[in-house]
Amino acid sequence: MAYKEKYPLDVTPQGDEVRDSIQKNRDEILNVAKAIDLKASGGGNTGGGVLRNRVLNGKGGNGEYSFLIGDNLSVIIDGSQTPVLLSFADGFDENGSVDFVTAITNKTSAWMLPARSTSYLYIERSASGALSYGSTTVEPVRQASTPKAEMDKMHYNTVAEKMYLYNGVQWKPVLRIVVAIVATDSTSVKSIKYYRPGFGGDVMADKSITSIKIGDGEVKSVNIGEKQVTSAHLEKSITDMFDAVRKDIDALKPKINEVLTKAYPVGAIYCSTVSTNPTELFGFGTWEYIEQGRVLLSQGDKYRAGTTGGAETHTLTVAEMPSHKHGGTTGDGGAHTHTGVAETAGEHTHTSEIGAYGTDFKNRKYWIEEERARTRIKTDDVLNIKNGGAHTHNIQIDASENHNHIINSEGNGQAHSIMQPYLSVYMWKRVS
């Protein structure tokens, strides 16, 4: 494994000779080897068996690891006193299992975590042996079958003995060890649970006191300190505590009711999506349920407080309709008769036939036929025809049948909804 001797091979500031320094390194390596052998056989304080792809050893006490330290929203890993040994499983080859064992021998701030989250801390080994630190909020799984694909999900295949990471496209093999589960609040680390796979599945070391542990009698002096703590003692203490809290609540009830009665005086409205009557909820007053379908409206000169009105639907009257037009068609008309009078006034002309007599063209004389009598006129005489006066003409226009006109109509006069978007709630009015 990649283990570095940390004791110098010369005289140390503590006065160690070279021989003593070498002996310290050998002793430390032997201790690590013993811890590995002990775990492999199922013993040890920090777990048993299943050595592949896990933390093998690290600083601990009282049967639990303690090599991780919370610092605000960061986590420090400390291998400066006791090396943190890591076993990375890489499946099998023709010679059997393939594992890489690496030691962390320094103290470093390895992880920066998001606030108000539960993060899974991991350490990854590159092909060259370099270590990097990361975290994810996606819970890893350790099983034989491939789980449902999820971005950043880690799956340790217990058959192939390999860790896989889903990168959004495929399950990619990686050399990763899940170290711990860390919960944070807005500013700091709240809890650290070490990830420790065992024969029965993933087991997380947890120093917290829970109701389950109290019921199982797991809370003992070794967990708490010098004071003996048992479930019986805790049960009595908890009962006393609740009794004291009840007394405090009873003492506060009058003040609470005083505040509530000021917040909900007579005439106040109480709304809730729960059907509990406010009398039962607050312990005072008489509350009247507001009929179904009512909404609240701010009062004023137009709407006096306590009055009701409105409707769910409305049918428009003619006066409420907007100005609009109707389209239509006119059918072909048949023949029909029009009569009228045409008047004409003004000057017009009359024509007469003018003829010639005599044989001499140069001296020829002309005549005009008028009233069947011929009158001689000279060629240089002016023919004067008088105009006629005003007169009338009767005109008759023939046609047949009547014209047809069709006007289109729209709508059927049904009522329409005028409900606004709503959230249905229980509404109560305090009447006394």
Query: What's the pLDDT at 175?
Result: 97
373 is written with which tokens? 């009598």
Chain centre distance of CA 58: 44
Lowest mean pLDDT among 154-163, 187-196, 338-347: 338-347
Please give the full DSSP string across 212-248, using - where no structure is assigned. HHHHHT---HHHH-SS---HHHHHHHHHHHHHHHHHH
Give the containing element (helix H, strand E) for 33: helix 18-40
**Cross-strand pairs, 166:** 171
**Side chain identity at residue 269, one-letter code:** I
Higher pLDDT, 366 or 54: 54
Please indicate whether residue 90 or residue 227 has the higher confidence score (pLDDT).
90
Q: Could you give the CA distance from residue 126 to residue 106 in angstroms, rounded to a whole number?
A: 19
Angle at 244 between CA 240 and CA 248, to 5 degrees: 170
112 beta partners: 74
- Between the alpha carbon of residue 347 and those of residues 69, 350, 385, 394, the distances in Å are 128, 10, 11, 20
pLDDT at residue 422, as a whole number: 77
For the chain, give the longest Cα–Cα distance.
180
Residue 372's pLDDT is what?
A: 46
- pLDDT for residue 411 is more than 50: yes
What's the number of CA atoms in the CB half-sphere (13 Å) around residue 233? 8
How large is the average pLDDT for residues 49-55?
Answer: 74
Beta bridge partners of 76: 69, 109
**Which tokens is 18 given?**
């070279």
The dihedral over CA atoms of 316, 321, 324, 328, expressed in degrees to the nearest 10, equals: 30
| Cα gap 383→247, rounded to integer Å | 144
Cβ distance 43 to 51 under 8 Å?
A: no
CB-based contact 342:392 (threshold 8 Å) = yes
DSSP codes joined into one string, 172-216? EEE-EEEEEEEEE-SSSEEEEEEEEEETTEEEEE-----HHHHHH
Residue showing tokens 């060629």: 379
Structure tokens at 206: 């947890």
Closest C-alpha to 210, from 200, 219, 201, 198:
219
Average of per-residue pLDDT across 258-262:
81
Classify residue 41 as exposed, middle or buried by CB count within 10 Å of its CB (0-12, 13-18, 19+): exposed
Residue 162 has pLDDT above 90, yes or no: yes
Whether pLDDT at 44 is above 50: no
* Token code pair at residue 253: 């009830």
Helix (H) and strand (E) counts for the chain? Answer: 5, 29
CB atoms within 10 A of CB 306: 8
261 or 378, greater pLDDT: 261
pLDDT above 70: residue 194: yes
Place of tokens 């006109």: 405
What residues contact residue 66 under an 8 Å CB cut-off, 6+ apart?
Answer: 58, 59, 60
The neighbour count for residue 90, using CB atoms within 10 Å, is: 19
For residue range 77-108, what is the model confidence (pLDDT) as tens digits? 999 989 999 999 999 988 888 889 999 999 99
> Alpha carbon of 110 to those of 76, 77, 235, 327: distances in Å?
6, 6, 41, 80
**DSSP tag of 107:** E
**Whether pLDDT at 226 is above 50:** no
Query: What does the alpha-carbon distance between residue 87 and residue 196 come to, in Å, rounded to a whole number?
Result: 12
